[in-house]
Amino acid sequence: MNYWSHIDKLLEVHICGVIEKSRKYTSLSITEAAALFHDFGKINPNFQKKLAGVNGGRYSNHSYLSVFAFVYFAKTNGEACRQLLKAENTSDYKIKFRQVIALIAHHHGDLPNFVDLLNLEEITNAAMFVEKNELPFSSFLSKQLSIKHNLFSIDYDEFDFQNSSRFVKHLHLKFWRVNALQYFMDTQFGFASLIHADKRDAGNNVWYQFEDRIPQAIEDMDLALARKFQLFDQGPVSSDLNRLRTAIRVEATKNISRHLLSSGRVFTITAPTGAGKTYTLLSVAKEIQRQKGPLGIIYALPFLSITEQVQRILDEDGIDYLPVNSKVNNQELVTALELYEVNPTLENLQKILQQDFAEHSFDHPFIITTFVQFFETLVSNKNATLLKLPNFSNRIFLIDELQALPPRLYIFFSAWLEAFCRKNNSYVILSTATMPKLDFPVKDYTDESVDPYLLFKEYSDNQPIELITPERYFSDKTFNRYKIHLVDNDKFMLQDLVDHVLSQTKSCLVILNTIGDTKELYEKLEELSHVILLNTHFTPSDRSEKIKMAKAFLNANEKVILISTQLIEAGVDIDFPVVYRDLCPLPSLIQSAGRCNRNNTFPEMGDVYFFQLKKEQGKASSEVIYKGEAAEFLRFCKEYITDGIEENKLYAVQSDFFSSIRDSLSIGDFKKGNKSINMIECVNNAEFERLGEFQLIDNDLFGEQYKYYIPKDENDFSCEELADLVIQSLSTTGFEESRKVRIEINNRLKELSDRIINVRLNLKKDQVAPAYRNEKTYFDIRVLSDLNNYSFEKGLELGTNNLLL
């Protein structure tokens, strides 16, 4: 009898296809075993009837039946199963056995905490079904898959089954903790490789873009960078700043060449702001490719505004890349959709699905993405997110602006990446002007479950290697571009700031901590010429336009005052002679000051004014944003930033700051609402779902967030058209057509993203959300009803009392 996995594919063909495709990414024995058994449950006659479009009965599930097939195979083929799993000993076998169960049971869902490895109701339902229906698992294994084994059948006994398949905390956790990091990463990567291969084979997708394009991509980038560096070297006499940028790039490239001879996987580049780190990172990646072969690149940055800057550089140099974020469309996917509209063939539909899969699985030689996509994937348990993880192997990770991570995660992710890269033939370059201390603190841990030394056993011998001599560049006079002036006024109010800014004859950048403060300052200065307001209550397209305007005024030597929140403080290439900064932690101060005399173009040293803005009630604005441990960071700035300190003295200060963070903060803590979760503890306890709760941006921290679409005019019904497409998708039949419509929806969302803003409100304080015109929202997007509440000059106007940040 024939059994089918999908309408057009025999079950044995699919299983063999999944095994073959998973081997492209991993040689893990748990993946091999899971790939073999993952769809055995589709032998279920009800599933076969359902596939044929016939109502065959209530129970048509297959995942837990597949678990039964694996468990009872192992029961009568114990030695063969041990060999299949390459178990080193009995305890290793028990853990690997349960890893396979996790992969099989949840390959259509998410990885669970192992104490909740199997759902009792699902077990009961599957058991009741196999008691009444004899499923020829053993026959299928021998006849269709030609695997010799001792014949087995499902003779279900609840106690016996639970005893062999459950993860018992007091019993199995001690086995797990012998090598918790390896078991955790193997489970995660094995699961990711299985679902990746499963989806590929189900969609008949045999196009591996990374594999096909990597030789040409390396050659093209090599030529493009060679041309660019030749222009740098042979152009007209460059400035001192450009000569230092070249020196940094050359030193980093030379050192990576030397260090690649050792076992190092994680490297750092600690260079001042404006030091040309993008080209340095690309040059280092090029050298790694030259020595280590066809490795792809994943370039991760904290904010979309910075990814756009890097994309412009790559576009200018003709380097091919795939942007993966919530805003930029994959142009090849757009082209495929347009081609299908003109010529709706099955072949053109397949091209759409392939391009979409490439984007969602990072299947491209050069990916540019955000910290959210990158770091959340590394520790995720979610099916859709982990689809990317197999393509994290054989990579060079370029991580710029590392300081943008939460401080408690600096060391954790450095250690995690070191272990991941060692296991998966990858390398990572961490880059920033404000590099955290990435070694473990010298302290005794009374709780072994959060002890980083025990989890990351090899990290202390494989710590990040610095590729340049930071002291040389930070102390150079060329990078001594500004002086910090402390505003000595304990009652520095908004009007005092207004008077101070008005006293300046030069262009000013004023960076404040809250949206409300930026709006209040703008209202007091808006009658002046060339005053620009910038915060997250503007659409991304308007934000970009405002930065362009500010640059144009600066280039024309016309005085401009740019009032912004901290969204401008990192990575934005803009250069003011005077910068004002409200009280903030040291890394933010240095990044903000990096917008002052950035390119050393002003005849005099730049001026950075550092102050603490107070409200009418006497409370500091900084206290609204920086709470808890962040308040301690403010105290550090108050103590260590002295009046008149110059840029070249800050390297020593930031070294002290990051030493204090390393020594005082626990490693791997993150907040989820009111909960505090420790990542090391999650790994030690096999808590995949708990660790998977990690989000880089905690939406619970600063109130409820609402998405608003700002129409271009009264005739802009883009959101309503998206809603129509969503409704249309509900009636679409067939996997391929349904998927195509979902891809179109995703593309439309990206097109809308340039006019979507996020508004945070604290409903407990009776703050009122703006009115919206769409009665039903899709993707939680509201359409602003009164366009008089938004303008290019002031953004979304909620009323000052209605602002949270």
From 19-33, 314-328, 381-395, 657-671, the region with the lowest mean pLDDT: 314-328
How is residue 50 written in tokens?
């359902």
Coil vs helix vs strand at 759: strand
- The amino acid sitting at 378 is L
- Burial bucket for residue 254 (CB in 10 Å: 0-12, 13-18, 19+): middle
Could you say which DSSP state residue 771 is in?
P
pLDDT reading at 748 higher than 90:
no
Confidence band of 764 (pLDDT split at 50, 70, 90):
low
Going along the chain from its start, the domains and CATH numbers come out as: 4-202 (no CATH), 209-326+366-442+460-471 (3.40.50.300), 481-645 (3.40.50.300), 702-802 (no CATH)
DSSP string over 329-369: --HHHHHHHHHHHHS--HHHHHHHHHHHHHHHTT-SSEEEE
**Residue 192 and residue 198: Cα distance in Å, rounded?**
10
Q: Please give the sequence-ordered ranges of beta strands (E in DSSP) within 519-569, or none if there are none.
A: 531-534, 561-564
CA 420 – CA 404 distance, rounded (Å)? 21
Tokens 């201390």 correspond to 437
- Decide if pLDDT at 641 tops 90: yes
Specify the range with the lowest mean pLDDT, choosing from 24-38, 70-84, 561-575, 755-769: 755-769
Higher pLDDT, 456 or 759: 456
Separation CA 632–CA 612 (nearest Å)? 15
Dist CA 309 CA 354 (whole Å):
28
Q: Looking at the predicted structure, is the pLDDT value of residue 674 above 90?
A: no
Tens of pLDDT along 25-35? 999 999 999 99
Give the residue-averaged pLDDT of 368-391: 97
Give the residue ranges of DSSP H helices in 617-649. Answer: 622-625, 629-640
| 436 in Cβ contact with 410 (< 8 Å) | yes
Q: What is the dihedral of CA 493, 494, 497, 502, to 10 degrees?
A: -140
pLDDT score of 805 more than 60: no
CA distance 696 to 408: 12
Mean pLDDT in residue range 59-78: 96
Tokens linked to 340: 């299908």
Specify whether the CB–CB gap between 118 and 165 falls below 8 A. Answer: yes
Contact indicator for 583, 637 with CB cutoff of 8 Å: yes
Give the CA distances from residue 346 to residues 5, 341, 350, 631, in Å, rounded to whole numbers and listed in that order.
21, 12, 6, 59
The pLDDT value recorded for residue 346 is 78
Kindly tell me the sign of the dihedral angle through the C-alpha atoms of 677, 680, 684, 690.
Answer: positive
Q: Is the pLDDT of residue 803 over 60?
A: no
Distance, in Å, from the CA atom of 769 to the CA atom of 789, rounded to the nearest integer, reads 12
Residues 6+ apart with CB under 8 A from 232: 238, 242, 246
What's the residue count for the chain?
805
The answer to whether 433 and 271 are in contact (CB under 8 A) is: yes
- Whether residue 245 is predicted with pLDDT greater than 90 in this model: the reply is yes
Out of 141-150, 651-660, 678-687, 791-800, least confident range: 791-800
pLDDT at 737 over 80: no
Q: Check whether 309 has a pLDDT greater than 90.
A: no
| DSSP secondary structure letter of residue 666 | P
The angle at the Cα of 425, spanning 424 to 428, to the nearest 5 degrees, equals 100
Residue 174 CB neighbours (<10 A): 10
> Would you tell me the crossing angle of helices 158-165 and 120-132 to the nearest 10 degrees?
130
Question: Could you report the per-residue pLDDT of 765-791, keeping only the tens digit for each?
Answer: 566 788 888 877 778 889 999 999 999
What is d(CA 448, CA 457) in angstroms, rounded to the nearest whole number? Answer: 13
Q: Which residue has the higher pLDDT, 337 or 724?
A: 724
Under 8 Å between Cβ of 492 and 483 = no
Whether 653 contacts 641, CB under 8 Å: yes
pLDDT tens per residue across span 162-190:
999 999 999 999 999 999 999 999 999 99
Quick check: 461 and 682 in contact, CB under 8 A? no
Query: Can you read off the two tokens belonging to residue 253?
Result: 């490239």
Q: Which of 206, 389, 151, 393 is nearest to 293 (CA)?
A: 393
pLDDT bucket at 702, cuts 50 / 70 / 90 = low
Quote the CA–CA distance of 409 and 419 in Å, as a whole number.
15
pLDDT of residue 804: 47
What is the pTM (predicted TM-score) of this model? 0.91
End-to-end CA distance of the chain: 65
Half-sphere exposure of 476 (CA within 13 A, CB side): 17
Q: How far is CA 328 from the centre of its chain?
A: 15
Q: Give residue 124's pLDDT band: very low, low, confident or very high (50, 70, 90).
A: very high
Nearest to 611 by CA among 525, 482, 500, 502: 500
Q: Which of 226-235, 476-485, 525-534 has the lowest mean pLDDT?
A: 226-235
So what's the pLDDT on residue 703? 59
Instruction: Give the whole-angstrom CA distance, residue 518 versus residue 264.
Output: 45
**Would the pLDDT of 401 be above 90?**
yes
**DSSP 3-state assignment of 728?**
helix
Is residue 296 within 8 Å of residue 395, measured between CB atoms? Answer: yes
Q: Tally Cβ neighbours within 10 Å of residue 125.
A: 15
Residue 122 token pair? 């699902």
Gyration radius from the chain CA atoms: 29
Greatest alpha-carbon pair distance for the chain in Å reads: 89
Structural element, H or E, at residue 12? helix 11-22
Q: Which residues fall within 8 angstroms of residue 520, CB to CB, at 6 or more apart?
A: 494, 800
| pLDDT at position 132 | 92
Q: Locate tokens 């703008």: which residue?
A: 522
Residue 482's Cα: distance from chain center in Å? 33
**pLDDT above 50: residue 328:** yes
pLDDT band at 335 (very low <50, low <70, confident <90, very high): confident
Task: State the pLDDT at residue 237.
Answer: 56
List helix spans (H) across 402-451: 410-424
Judging by beta carbons within 10 Å of its beta carbon (0-12, 13-18, 19+), is residue 771 exposed, middle or buried? exposed
8 Å CB contact between 276 and 313 = no
Stated as kind and residue range, the H or E segment containing 678 is strand 675-678
Any idea what DSSP says for residue 180?
Answer: H
